[in-house]
Structure 1
């Protein structure tokens, strides 16, 4: 399982990259806006450099297919590790699978996002998407089983030998990571605050502090005696 960090904060990307646990970055227009990347190219290029050569997902935000294609080609030209996020449908329910298919046919990697069902994910994979993003947390919000949909999709892709990789997103708590990992997901994209919670545990802190105190008391004295 890979872990992508879901943020447009360059400092967070560099921070977690130093730990060796981050395999990529996902962003969206809302995350970029929150970081005040008003000069889009500058922000995207800095994020791409921070995570290179691992993938950075950048989402198109145009309304029409030809505008999405133009944006996608432009974004993809900014760095060789950029993956283009395209929603599976637009706000009116119109499928955007042709955009996905055309970009992949041109050699532009696509992360087909906003998938909420097995059917959407299957069609995105059939259209050739490199990544299929199932927003597991939002699926749960609707009273459905996000990890179940993710597991079903991963099993189907494996059974049919399809190359698309499933990204599970909309992560709300550390337990989401555990249950999605158990479902066999390929990638989980996790916000920085959840990564912090994943690595922390109060008993780990207490145990570490105890061992440090005992070690300094016992072996620190030995070192002094030897010296």
Structure 2
């Protein structure tokens, strides 16, 4: 099934065609008016240089007028092999369709609301027969049954016409077009972007990314470049300021030679205040006793760190390099945000 973009927004048209596989663009004077376009011909020429196939309106009260409008637009420099003229279905419209097809041009007979209209378009040699599903449903008509009937008509009688599902209002319409065996569909960019979205796909993708990260990235590669470290000769108050400045729940405490003494956490702070009151704030970091911190070497994989987080139920682990502290690994660092 061919996939067309339905739009007149130049920005989204350029974005959409970066996909590299869209068949072409369908647009209407209504879209152009909505986008505030004033020079219709210049816009058509610009679009023709961006998209593989451009479907544009050819209008007129008589078949001769419609043909003349198509030829006038071709004279702007459009490639006849990459241009499809959209003609509203009518007796004059299908007459113009036959004339243009005989000239080797492509025609989309659209605004089709009945099987009889579709039949006339097919007999006239329309390249596309376009049923506006959303518009029909808005008016209370059974668009899906009609589209299915048109597909059956084309295939049963061997017409060369392609049935186009247009006026797409939701992603379910795309499924309808697939189920009905349509040959082509034209979709707004907002809905086209949603066609690959699925919550289960997102969950699975995130799991693959997370697990790949765990077994390929080392702790040293994942740690935050900020390493809040204090020496034993500064006060607890200064250490608290350091923790606050860097937004960490702990600081690494080292002696003047850079040797590890321990890790002081916000939990330690609460306990010290509870035991000694505000007087404890004036004490030096070297006045406190430290247990052996939970640590991991920077060369270990994140998978080992994840196991350590789970085993110890902590949120932050000291990272060392040959026993020397080099940073802190937060549990959030396991994810590649």
Superposed pair shares fold, TM > 0.5: yes
* More RCO (CA 8 Å, sep 6+): 1
Query: In terms of mean alpha carbon deviation, does 10-19 or 115-124 score higher?
Result: 10-19
Moved more, 179-188 or 148-157: 148-157
User: In structure 2, what is the Cα distance between the partners aligned to 1:134 and 1:183?
Assistant: 13
Q: Distance in 2 between matches of 1:13 and 1:166?
A: 23
Would the alpha carbon gap of residues 223 and 189 (structure 1) be closer, same or farther in structure 2, given more than 3 Å must change? Answer: farther
1:219 aligns with 2:223: no
Instruction: State the alpha-carbon separation in 1 of the partners of residues 125 and 171 from structure 2.
Output: 31
Q: Is 1:160 matched with 2:157?
A: yes
Of the three residues 57, 60, 64, the one matched with 1:59 is: 57
Match of 2:105 among 108, 111, 115: 108
Give the 3-state SS of the residue equivalent to 2:49 in structure 1. Answer: helix
Q: Which has the larger radius of gyration?
A: 2
Shift of 1:108: 2.2
TM-score, normalised relative to structure 1: 0.88
The structural deviation recorded for 1:72 is 0.9
Alignment of 1:120-199 (within 5 A): 120-199=117-196
Which residue of structure 2 lines up, in the alignment, with residue 30 of structure 1? Answer: 30
Asked if 1:207 corresponds to 2:208, the answer is no
Measured after TM superposition, the shift of residue 175 of structure 1 is 0.4
Q: Secondary structure at the match of 1:96?
A: helix
Provide Cα deviations, 1:53-111, integer angstroms capped at 9, x if missing partner: xx21100243344332211111234321111111003xxxx652212111212222111
Work out whether residues 97 and 127 of structure 1, in 8 Å CA contact, stay in contact via their aligned partners in 2.
yes
Structure 2 partner of 1:17: 17
**Cα distance between partner residues in 1 of 2:62 and 2:32:** 21
Look up the match of 1:4.
4
CA drift of 1:32 comes to 1.6
TM-score (norm 2): 0.61
SS of match in other structure, 1:50:
coil
Q: Give the conservation status (yes or no) of the 8 Å contact 1:167–1:189.
A: yes
Look up the SS of the partner of 2:195 in the other structure: helix
CA–CA distance in structure 2, aligned partners of residues 45 and 14 of structure 1: 14
CA distance in 2, matches of 1:131, 1:202: 35
Number of matched residues? Answer: 221
In 2: Cα distance, 1:14 partner to 1:152 partner: 35
Give the drift of 1:201: 2.4
* Of 90, 93, 96, the match for 1:96: 93
**1:108/1:217 Cα in 2 relative to 1: closer, same or farther (>3 Å)?**
same
Q: CA deviation at 1:188?
A: 0.7
Secondary structure of 2:46's match?
helix
Output the CA distance in 1 between the equivalents of 2:60 and 2:15.
Answer: 32
